[in-house]
Structures are given as C-alpha cells and as structure tokens.
Homo-oligomer: A and B are copies of this chain.
Amino acid sequence: MNIYDIAAESNTSISTVSRVLNNKPNVNPVVKKRVEEVLKKYNYKPSAIARGMVSKTMKSIAILTVDVRVSHYARTVYTIEQEFSKKGFNVFVCNIKDSKEECSKYIKILSEKQVDGVVLIGSIFSELIDTPENLRLIHDIPVVIANGTLPYPNFHSIMVDDRGAIRLMVEYLQKKNYQELFYVYDRETPSAEEKKKGFIEALKLSGVKNAEERIFKCEYGLEGGKAVVEQILASGVRPDALVFGEDITAIGAMKEWKRRGYRIPEDLAITGCNNLIETEICEPELTTLDNKPELQGKLCSDLLSEILEGKTGYGGVTINAELVVKKST
C-alpha cells in the first residue's frame, strides 16, 4: 500500500495525498477528509526509507560506547536516547569494546546509513576513532565526544574535569588530615590518565616530593581491587588513605582490607569515583566523586541538537564532578 494506491482509491493525485500526509496547506477540506478515510481504511503507513531517500535523513543518531552494561555509560546513553526520542529520532546503540576494528566497522556501516549524528561516550574514543579512514567516512556527520577532544571541524566535545575531580578529593583528604595518600588506577584511558595527573598535581601542590611514586596499578573490578592490597602491602608503604579511580575497584580493595582486619576509615581511608549505587551498598559506604553521567548525556544531546539545527556559536562546556562524602573517609 503506497501513496499511489491511496491516491487512486481517493480519486486524487499523489501530490494531494502527500499534502494531507504532511499536513500541508492548500488542500480542499472535503478531499482531505476523503483521503484521510482511505488512509485509515488501508492502515497506510508511509515509508520512512522512501522519505529518507528524498530528505537525506532517517532521523536517527548513533551512540558509540565501550559497553552499555557499564552503569555510568548506560546512564548517559539513556539520557541521550530520551532526549532524541522527544525530537522524533531513534538511537542506534553500538558497543565497541575498546576495539579499533569494531569501531571502524561501525563507523562504516553507520555512515552508509547516513545517521544524522554520532555521540561517542568514553574518553577512549578519542583514540579509537582517530584513523584517516574513519574521519573520511564521517567528515560530513557531526560528532560529539563525551569527555574527549579531537581537532576536526565536525568534532565537538563535552568535557568532564577528571583531573580537577581527583584534586578535589585529595584536597578533601588532606583537610581531614590524612598524610600518606596513594593512588590506584586500573584503566589506561585518557580519562584515567587525567585522574592520575590530578592526583600527582594535588600532592605536588601540597609539597609532597615523590608524588609520582605514590601510584599503584591493578586490574579493573572487584577482583582487581582485592588483588592490589597484597601488592601495596608487599611494597612496604603504609598508606592512611587510598584514592581509587573507580568505585568498583575501590570496593574490592575495601573488602580485602577489612578481611585482613583493617578498619575503614579508622586505619585506612578509601575513596572511589563515579558514585555508583554500589557505594551505598558496601560497608562502610564509599566516599566518591559524582561525575554526573545524566548531565553528560543531556549536554551531549543539547550540543548535537544545536548542530543539527544549524545553530552556531555553541561553546565548550565542562562538567565539574562533585565530592560525595560518605563513610569510608
């Protein structure tokens, strides 16, 4: 059932049908009504593909994320999807998993599908997507990166001040009189790198000399956090506060310290980052940083929307994380 069939059945032309379909003016009310009845009778539904052929858009965008199962990515994805849904867009969600090949595969197919825009969630994408081939394929599609930057005309960013966030945390701990601060990171993303820098900066600012040495690396996750405890103890240092780059890893470590008889925060303070629900479940509840994934999503949506609407002069926004003090410090 296409527009021709409807036109025939209504004794009119496809132009007129098209007009009533799109609520355009200059159509006789009587004819309009007749057409609408036929439309209903045959349960006509316009083909978005055919429309897309003419309009050059399917009203869809794509979100590329590392893994939507990660809570804060899911929260950002959710917000963006809801925002664009309001505007009549649908959202492709793509899980890239750190792989450059996957990323290129998706970019190719999405560019052929002519998505109206792309949102990259996760600082890692500033590395994953930066190949000549990818850039050529999407040079005419606006891209918004959440927490990353790339110097191409169609790329725009919403930044999160990860460095400042950790600095905030360090300053808070120092104010509470913790002296022996150490940092534990797991991932190697640009964002994680920024956090590490923030830690070092903050220590240096307060006169600590060997800041770069006060850093441990472990695997991501509960198990990674548990494992790093042994590593810390073996190294001989005696921290009174551990700053983690991720909540989950911090929680893993906390469990292990407790298992070994340490009291948190009396013997050792621990802090995380992301303000996951898990930080309210562990005991003691984890002091953490809220980097506002929903706000990230909202700002990414707004930015991309403005670009799509042809607006100009949107400036870079930076999100500042918020310190959330709970019971582990």
Q: Which residues of A contact B (CB under 8 A)?
A: 43, 45-50, 52-53, 56, 58, 60, 62, 67-69, 71, 74-75, 77-78, 81-82, 85, 88, 90-95, 105-106, 108-114, 136-137, 222, 248, 251, 255, 277-278, 280-283
4 more A-B residue pairs beyond the given contacts A48-B112, A53-B53, A71-B71, with a C-beta to C-beta distance below 8 A: A49-B113, A60-B92, A68-B78, A93-B93
Residue of B nearest to A73 (CB): B74
User: How many subunits of this chain does the assembly comprise?
Assistant: 2
Most buried by B among A45, A74, A281: A281
Q: Do A137 and B45 touch (CB < 8 A)? A: yes
Q: Do B68 and A81 touch (CB < 8 A)? A: yes
Secondary structure at chain A's binding surface: helix, strand, loop or mixed? helix
- Known A-B contacts A137-B45, A282-B281, A282-B282; the reply to A90 vs B94 at CB < 8 A is yes
Q: Do B49 and A77 touch (CB < 8 A)? A: no
| Chain B residues within 8 Å of A222, by CB | 277, 280-281
| Chain B residues within 8 Å of A46, by CB | 112
Q: How far is the CA of A110 from the CA of B58 in the complex (A)?
A: 11
A274 to chain B, nearest CB (A): 13
Q: Which of B47, B68, B108, B114 contacts A112, CB < 8 Å?
A: B47
Q: How far is the CA of A113 from the CA of B52 in the complex (A)?
A: 9
Q: Do A74 and B69 touch (CB < 8 A)? A: yes
| Chain B residues within 8 Å of A90, by CB | 62, 92, 94, 106, 109-110, 113
Residue of B nearest to A254 (CB): B281
| Chain B residues within 8 Å of A43, by CB | 136-137
Q: Which 6 A-B pairs have the closest CB atoms?
A: A93-B93, A48-B112, A48-B113, A49-B52, A90-B92, A69-B74
Q: How far is the CA of A110 from the CA of B137 in the complex (A)?
A: 26
A226 to chain B, nearest CB (A): 11
| Chain B residues within 8 Å of A93, by CB | 68, 77, 81, 91-93
Q: How far is the CA of A85 from the CA of B106 in the complex (A)?
A: 9
Q: Do B281 and A251 touch (CB < 8 A)? A: yes
Residue of B nearest to A90 (CB): B92
22 contacts between A and B (CB under 8 A): A45-B112, A48-B113, A49-B49, A49-B53, A49-B58, A53-B53, A58-B113, A68-B74, A68-B77, A68-B78, A74-B74, A78-B95, A81-B93, A81-B94, A82-B95, A85-B94, A85-B95, A92-B93, A222-B281, A248-B277, A278-B278, A282-B282
A77 to chain B, nearest CB (A): 6
A74 to chain B, nearest CB (A): 5
| Chain B residues within 8 Å of A47, by CB | 112, 114
| Chain B residues within 8 Å of A105, by CB | 85
| Chain B residues within 8 Å of A53, by CB | 49-50, 53
Q: Which of B68, B92, B280 contacts A92, CB < 8 Å?
A: B92
Q: Do B109 and A88 touch (CB < 8 A)? A: yes
| Chain B residues within 8 Å of A248, by CB | 277
